[in-house]
Chain A
């Protein structure tokens, strides 16, 4: 499988906002948000659950239309990126099609992205996520961790310029999560995609990402924006300090939102 040297585009969100519903029942999921994600880097988004992280990702993916604002990826809109098959996304549940084999699920992404069928590339990617020998297995026969490996293979096999990971390891147990955190990142680092990772785990965010953006409670606003230097590897002092700092920011975003809600209620 050919390595790709090119990196993904920068992702620029300008005054991006999302409101679900209308009238009295309307929910502001994302407040106007200005954020730029660096080309080829991985940014982790953390925040209280329900704060709008998935909504941000889905707007970037073009699955949800913004109520206001714009998203630009190297001069292209989400719809244009979709049409080029230039994006990939992983969900909390692996979302594999149960009637397709591992190979069939991975190959489907190439087919949907209008890329030529290439069984060698598919099998090579399956091997790289550690599932050589399971090409013909159906998802029902795999463990949760193995299914997520297939989902990651499905994402990477199209060599996406933008990779969107929405709590990809949220449903696997802690031990499996740690293993996947060690084994899989080199794959997407090699791919050079611009990557957004939503996660609940602060240590996962600090381990994997180049930068952690901390969101407040709904509607999502940026509470903190923290660069993670490359030397902050798990076990180092700087790593522990960063985890403590991100956690503190998370708590602060949570408190402020609570205070806002109380103020609004009065």
Chain B
């Protein structure tokens, strides 16, 4: 039994996450001041409400807001619990049956990539009125970001710990209880911390789809009425809740004194030994099994619950709709055009968010004092749900290309910035010392030492940004632009064109999963050249 700690997991020094309190406070105050100044500068333009306006609105409408908040929180908590239990169950399955790992991870990824925008309305039809869709969407939004760290954590123990257990004649069960579970706990907490704000986002999106009460309902109403103060106030409350949830789990992990890894979702290892040909065959086999499981599971779920074929489409319905029906070509053209419209905004937004995040991280590393102030603010803003920022950006930049691309970029910018900053600080101290001995300047150090050290973190962010960007673009199209796949899904949900809706869902989910896999392949290719030690399993 040899289990090396997976190298693709990056553990940042804890000090990074608890930077000097004074700097953090300065950062927070600075951000608030900038916000207020911007509001003053734009006064009268009905774009931006400042912190003072927000506080005034909240105190005037606190009864309404607090009731809505209570409802959404309740659904978010239920979804959080359900989703994380599912993640733990999946991780245990993989821990007990390691061969299932690739297929379980792939299926989990595709399900995670299901567009909330479409699953919301579908769940609404399935559940009818009530909190079902909100809770389910919250669960769907959290389980993947818990599942993956847990997978890593269950393997993250040095071989000698297992030797210790074996030496006393104890078996796999003891090793599991005494070593694996305990070693996985910090990873679980790292996952839960990301999950906490995501659950709130999921619950809010669920409320968009025809709930009667909750923060999502208020947000939608405020945005439709172009009520700037209400929109900003609701967004601020949602953002505050997300930050508090993030902070709370962080505090919990510190209080339990568990060394908490700042975890980047790890790259799944390349399966199988042997030549490139055999590996390729192995991968093709995995993909085939994954597709079989997905299609079979989908079909079984529909049949098991006896769901009505009118809205609960089966795989063969979509086959007819897209391939064998007389108007299949038209249907495909609809999807193709909508995809093209989405990609035009998605790709620039994705690249801009990622690039700007990495660029700012590099600038900040050259000015360490500033980084101490910016990082906590970025960590906080990273947890702000897209459904709260999207309406604000639409208010400010309009419903055209600028607004849409910005929504996607913002969604990716903060996670990328945080990951890259953490990656940059991964640079081994000795390497920096060697650089210093040769009198290397800051740019040489950045280029020769820090950027290579940053790459794994950068790619981890780039991978997770793919589903995030797809979520952002579909939400933006649905709420604002009236184009692309997001709009198509919203329209078809309201016009009951369920064949088209389900086709779009499958397209988006598979597209996101493929994009994720493509970034993963690029990551392997680059890391193989720059940091081969990161690729060992």
Contacts and interface: CB of A to CB of B under 8 A. Distances in A.
Interface of A: 58, 61-63, 79, 82-85, 87-89, 91, 93, 95, 97-99, 108-109, 112-114, 138, 140, 158
A95 B167 contact: no
Interface stretch (B20-28, B174-182, B333-341, B495-503): B174-182
Contacts of B167: 61-63, 82, 87-89, 112
A97 B170 contact: no
A259 B179 CA distance: 45
Nearest to B179: A97
Nearest to A79: B169
A140 B186 CA distance: 15
B55 interface: no
Given A85-B168, A89-B167, A95 B160 contact: yes
Given A95-B163, A97-B161, 13 more contacts: A61-B163, A62-B167, A87-B167, A88-B167, A89-B164, A91-B160, A95-B158, A97-B178, A97-B182, A99-B258, A108-B178, A112-B178, A158-B168
Contacts of A158: 168
A112 B167 CA distance: 9
Contacts of A97: 161, 178-179, 182
A108 B165 CA distance: 10
B505 to A, nearest CB: 42
30 contacts: A58-B163, A61-B167, A62-B166, A63-B163, A63-B167, A83-B169, A85-B168, A87-B167, A88-B167, A89-B163, A89-B164, A89-B167, A91-B160, A95-B161, A95-B163, A95-B164, A97-B161, A97-B178, A97-B179, A97-B182, A99-B185, A99-B258, A109-B164, A112-B164, A112-B165, A112-B168, A112-B174, A112-B178, A140-B259, A158-B168
B255 interface: no
B203 to A, nearest CB: 33
Contacts of A88: 167
Contacts of A91: 160, 163
> Chain A CB within 10 Å — which of B160, B185, B259 has the most?
B160
A182 to B, nearest CB: 26
B257 interface: yes
A108 B170 CA distance: 12
A112 to B, nearest CB: 4
A97 B160 CA distance: 10
A195 to B, nearest CB: 15
Given A95-B160, A95-B161, A97-B161, A63 B166 contact: yes
Nearest to B182: A99
A6 B239 CA distance: 68
Contacts of A109: 164, 168
A200 B182 CA distance: 34
A84 B169 CA distance: 8
A166 B513 CA distance: 47
Contacts of B257: 138
Contacts of B258: 99
A91 B170 CA distance: 18
Interface in B159-206: 160-161, 163-170, 174, 178-179, 182, 185
Contacts of A85: 168-169
B168 A82 contact: yes
Contacts of B160: 91, 93, 95
Contacts of A61: 163, 167
A93 B161 CA distance: 11
A82 B169 CA distance: 4
Nearest to B157: A97
Interface in B132-178: 158, 160-161, 163-170, 174, 178
B185 A112 contact: no
A113 B182 CA distance: 20
Contacts of B182: 97, 99
Contacts of B165: 112
Contact of B170 (A58, A89, A99, A112): A112
A105 to B, nearest CB: 10
A218 to B, nearest CB: 19
A170 to B, nearest CB: 13
Interface string B305-319: 000000000000000
A67 B257 CA distance: 44
> Chain A CB within 10 Å — which of B158, B160, B169, B170 has the most?
B169
A108 B177 CA distance: 12
Interface in B73-131: none
B141 to A, nearest CB: 30
Nearest to A110: B168
A140 B257 CA distance: 11
Contacts of A140: 259
Nearest first, the 4 A-B pairs at minimum CB distance are A82-B169, A112-B168, A83-B169, A95-B160
